[in-house]
Amino acid sequence: MLFTSLIFLYLFLPITLLSFLFIKTRLRNPLLLIASLIFYAWGGVSFCLVLICSILINYLTGLLVGRSEDNSIRKFWFITGIILNVSGLLVFKYLNFFISNLNILSSVFHVIPIHLNPIFLPLGISFFTFKGICYLVTVKRKETQPQLNILNLGLYLGFFPVIIAGPIDRYKNFEPQFKPLNFNPELFASGVKRFAMGLGKKVIIATPIGYVADHIFWSPMALLNSPLAWLGAISYMLQIYYDFSGYTDMAIGLGRIFGFEFAENFNFPYTARSIRDFWRRWHITLSTWLRDYLFLPLAYSTSRKLKKEKYLGVRVDNLIYGIAIMVTFFICGFWHGSSWTFITWGMIYGALLLLERTRFGKKLDKGPAILAHAYTLFFVLIAWVIFRSYNLHDALTFIKAMFGMGVAKTEWMRFSGYIGREYIFAMLMAIVGCTHLFDMLLKKIKLWMNGNNFPSNLVFHAYHVLTLVFIILVMTYSTMAILGNTLQSFIYFRF
């Protein structure tokens, strides 16, 4: 069930919200869990069983970890829980990938290939698996007590606004919100505005831009020329940002409507001046998860003990740090999908981060901001081409086309065919929205609203009237787009 479907907007959400408002306060969390299971089962009842198994596994292993006094027993149950979480991900998301690559080797060595029926990927399994691991790590580190109420843990893992594409909230931040939920009008109003903003990002910006990006990436490589390649790459770069950040806004908005606060996931990533800065701003909950639960344990578990030692002239702690970065971004790429394009995408970022730990990184920080910004956007753009491509061969062909190598003759009529009024409007909104301009304007309006004079009162009322008009227009336009079958599913649903 998509957030942008009529069933969700005009049936599931209103029924859930009305039930939430009129039911007893102590029953609101169980209600939201039931609604979340219905929401998830809409994509397949068998997928819902996978989610329920994940809830049971994490609940039981969390209790065993939290109640064990002996450290070795705690460690045993913790590792068992991690293995069970990762096993589900390996089977549903990566088994076909492993088998297909083994079959390539079997053809080389003339071994009988393995035949395996296609395994369908449960929506959001990457996200609720990482949240399950986060819960177990939190209990293992004694940052929180194990959750005794399985319904609360189920809500953390499977709450419908965030189950399919995040954000990946930390359990220790989510756990205090399990208290009986009281209706908060201000939080509700803030949630409605945030939901409408995300819906607008998806419908008004991401969809028309994505239409162009998809048609260019789907077109035969033999027909690709340099202008089209750049148009497709830039379009996809903006599409994936507005599509994913739009989903995040909608998820955060839905959380606020029901009284929950979720972590922010984006902070103007395309204003970054280095790859380090980009990953502090892009998919923040994933990058911080990888940092805290993978990179830091890998980088500092042994490097401190070996700080003064050297291997082949390189300090061992620096060597371990570099390996940790590459392993982390290998996992980051592989987490996004079972394809060599995703793995390559992750490894490129790992290599760039290692580069920025050298003198180059210091020069980048001290050099002109415009050059640092151009460098960052260039490599982010190239990485997105690899991320979007069907395979590495197509990715290389596309990148070569961007730089005029081995491509078709430029046909400006074909190029201009993609540049319609809707696309131009969406691109202008997208480019301006990547900057802090709208954010600064909004802060200025709020400063005016805090005053007591006549203009500030006028601004106050105008702001709220325009907000209401914006919500109505977005809902109306979205409904028309849905009825016209022009909306696409969210990009990150496939992960």
Would residue 405 be called left, alpha or beta, if left means φ above 0 and alpha means ψ between -120 and 50 degrees?
beta
Per-residue pLDDT band for 222 (boundaries 50, 70, 90) equals confident
pLDDT at 494: 67
How far, rounded to the nearest angstrom, does the alpha carbon of residue 295 sit from its chain's CA centroid?
A: 19
Mean pLDDT across the chain: 87
Instruction: Please give the pLDDT value at position 219.
Output: 85
Q: What is the pLDDT of residues 301-345, one digit of tens each?
A: 655 555 555 554 556 667 888 899 999 999 999 999 889 999 999
Q: Residue 230 phi/psi, 5° resolution?
A: -65, -40
Is the Cβ–Cβ distance between 337 and 95 less than 8 Å? no
The pLDDT score that the predictor gives to residue 417 is 79
d(CA 490, CA 248): 11
Q: What is the pLDDT of residue 108?
A: 64
* Per-residue pLDDT, 87: 93
Q: What's the CA angle centered on 7, arms 89 and 122, to 5 degrees?
A: 10
pTM, rounded to two decimals: 0.90
Instruction: State the Cα torsion 303-307-309-314 to the nearest 10°.
Output: 80
Q: Which of 75-79, 128-132, 474-478 bottoms out in mean pLDDT, i.e. has the lowest?
A: 474-478
Q: Quote the CA–CA distance of 235 and 233 in Å, as a whole number.
A: 5
Spatial distance between the Cα atoms of 116 and 108, rounded to a whole number of angstroms: 19
Give 16-43 pLDDT, tens digit per residue: 999 999 998 889 999 999 999 999 998 7
Confidence of residue 482 (pLDDT cuts 50, 70, 90): confident
The residues that bridge with 315 in the sheet, in sequence order, are 310
Distance between CA atoms of residues 335 and 286, nearest Å: 10
Task: State the pLDDT at residue 315.
Answer: 64
Q: Higher model confidence: residue 86 or residue 307?
A: 86
Tens of pLDDT, residues 92-141: 888 888 888 777 766 666 667 677 777 788 888 999 999 999 999 999 99
The answer to whether residue 336 is catalytic is: yes
Least confident of 233-237, 350-354, 463-467: 463-467
Which residue is catalytic, options 336, 373, 461, 464? 336
pLDDT, tens digit (0-9, with 9 covering 90-100), for 236-295: 999 999 999 999 999 999 999 999 999 999 999 999 999 999 999 999 999 999 999 999
Q: What is the pLDDT of residue 316?
A: 62
Query: In angstroms, what CA-CA distances link 387 with 47, 268, 298, 344, 346?
Result: 26, 20, 26, 8, 9
Using CA atoms, how far apart are residues 425 and 207, in angstroms rounded to an integer?
12
pLDDT value of position 460: 65
More confident residue, 61 or 220: 61
Q: Is the pLDDT of residue 456 over 60?
A: no
pLDDT (mean) for 186-205? 90
Chain centroid to Cα 288, Å, comes to 12
Q: Which residues of 332-359 are buried (b: 16+ CB within 10 A; e: fewer)?
A: bbbbbbbbbbbbbbbbbbbbbbbebeee
Q: Note whether 202 and 487 are within 8 A (CB).
A: yes
Work out the end-to-end distance of the chain between its first and last CA atoms, rounded to an integer number of angstroms: 16
Q: Tokens 């954000």 map to which residue?
A: 167
Residue 449 has pLDDT above 70, yes or no: no
According to the model, what pLDDT value does residue 160 have? 93
